Structure 1
Amino acid sequence: MTETNVESSKLPPAVEAFVLRWGDLGGQWGVNRSVAQIQALLLLSDRPLTAEDIADKLGLARSNVSNSIKELLNWKLVSRVPVLGDRRDHFVAETDMWQMASKVAQGRKEREIDPMVAAIHAAMEQADDPHISKEVRLRLSNMNDFITTVDTWYGQMIQVPPQQIMRLIRLGAKVVNLLKYVGGKDKSKG
């Protein structure tokens, strides 16, 4: 490798630190470290990168990069972009934090929440079995009420423009205080 190639493959210290930390966080989120590191690199890249660029900059095997990119494409967190004069695939990350969070939430809902909703609904359909105690039926009913409410809320919130949700989030404790005011006395405090 020439001196120029070595230099061009080095990451600025801040970018390297972010990529490493994002990779560590990926494990806590249930995401492969390489997948998270590639997303982080693309998030902070000022130009589209090829799989070869990514492998070089992160010191990863090309096959690992390919598999990781496929996963990121499935999550819609990266996309292919054409680059004039180059037949190779180039990739960019979704950089809008709201869009990124929405895509992750949608993917998690499809993979984790929807199957739970289906399982609880299936159990509820069989809850009239005389071998199931009243207590178990009540627990199933409570789970069903909770998950149905959360699922309905998600469907409503996904329709709200991001700017409005951000205004709501920025209100923070004011929303909690408003809920206490309009909801009456907090039952958890006696």
Structure 2
Amino acid sequence: MLMSPLIQTFVLHFGEMGSRWGINRTVGQIYALLFVAERPLNADEMAEALGFSRSNISMGLKELMSWRLVKLQHLPGDRREYFSAPEDVWAIFRTLAEERRKREIDPTLSMLRDALLAEPATSAEKHAQGRLREMHDLIELTTDWFSDVQKLDSKTLMQLMKLGGKVTKFLEIKDKLLLGMGSKGEDDNKH
């Protein structure tokens, strides 16, 4: 299987970016190839296209399956396993976010909760616990918000993302209105 220059550029770039995201280059390239492939691919096709050993492909696929980022399927009359990436980019985003939360955020929240339950022995530990509470509260607030966002369908999620800075402007207007109403209310109380 030969990759066109366009696909090869994407696959190579995704492999390099993967290493910055905490996955190895091979896994990143395998995923990029599956993401742009017109049809499900088997391990031999991926090994040929990427120039990797079959064992590297197998290990990369196992990692991608543990992240729930590839789908395994069998084709009629063919004993080989075929792999594909989800079609919906929002589904990929949701899966990545959920897996990262489970692997990175949840253990951190658990450690922070344990640290906050401990009785501080010194003023330094008391100060540290105050800082840890701030971190815990921020992480918990963002994960709760993200859990709510995860429940949105793709169309609504896209609309929310497109709002961008408009949400900030809306909140600024709301604050100005509330301030204006507050000062008017104070004026009414004076009379």
Which category of TM-score, normalised to the shorter sequence, fits these structures? 0.7 to 0.9
Match of 1:179 among 142, 167, 171: 171
Q: Structure 1 CA distance, aligned partners of 2:51 and 2:121?
A: 60
Runs of 4+ more than 4 Å apart: none
Measure how far apart 1:10 and its partner are.
1.7
1:53 aligns with 2:45: yes
Measure how far apart 1:180 and its partner are.
2.1
Q: Does the 8 Å contact 2:116/2:132 carry over to 1?
A: yes
In the other structure, the counterpart of 2:9 is 17
In the other structure, the counterpart of 1:30 is 22
In the other structure, the counterpart of 1:129 is 120
Q: Which amino acid aligns with 2:89?
A: M
| SS in structure 1 at match of 2:80 | strand
Q: Structure 2 CA distance, aligned partners of 1:123 and 1:48?
A: 47
Q: Structure 1 CA distance, aligned partners of 2:75 and 2:129?
A: 59
1:100 aligns with 2:88: no
Q: Does the 8 Å contact 2:43/2:58 carry over to 1?
A: yes
In the other structure, the counterpart of 1:84 is 76
RMSD of equivalent CA atoms = 1.6
What TM-score comes out, normalization by structure 2 length? 0.86
| SS in structure 1 at match of 2:82 | strand
Q: Which amino acid aligns with 1:163?
A: K
1:119 aligns with 2:124: no
1:170 aligns with 2:167: no
Q: What is the CA deviation profile of residues 109-159 of structure 1, one whole-angstrom value per residue up to 9, with x for unaligned ones?
A: 011100110010000000x32424442232122122112212211222211
| SS in structure 2 at match of 1:80 | strand
Q: Which amino acid aligns with 2:112?
A: I
Q: Which runs of 5+ in 1 are unaligned?
A: 1-8, 186-190
Measure how far apart 1:48 and its partner are.
1.4
Alignment: residue pair count? 176
Q: Which amino acid aligns with 1:129?
A: P
Q: Which amino acid aligns with 1:57?
A: A
Bigger helix fraction: 2
Greater C-alpha radius of gyration: 2
Q: Give the % identical residues.
A: 36
Q: Structure 2 CA distance, aligned partners of 1:60 and 1:183?
A: 57
Residues 1:32 and 1:152: Cα distance change in structure 2 (over 3 Å): same
In the other structure, the counterpart of 2:65 is 73
Q: Does the 8 Å contact 2:34/2:84 carry over to 1?
A: yes
| SS in structure 2 at match of 1:160 | coil
What TM-score comes out, normalization by structure 1 length? 0.87
| SS in structure 2 at match of 1:81 | strand
In the other structure, the counterpart of 2:184 is none
Q: Which runs of 5+ in 2 are unaligned?
A: 178-191
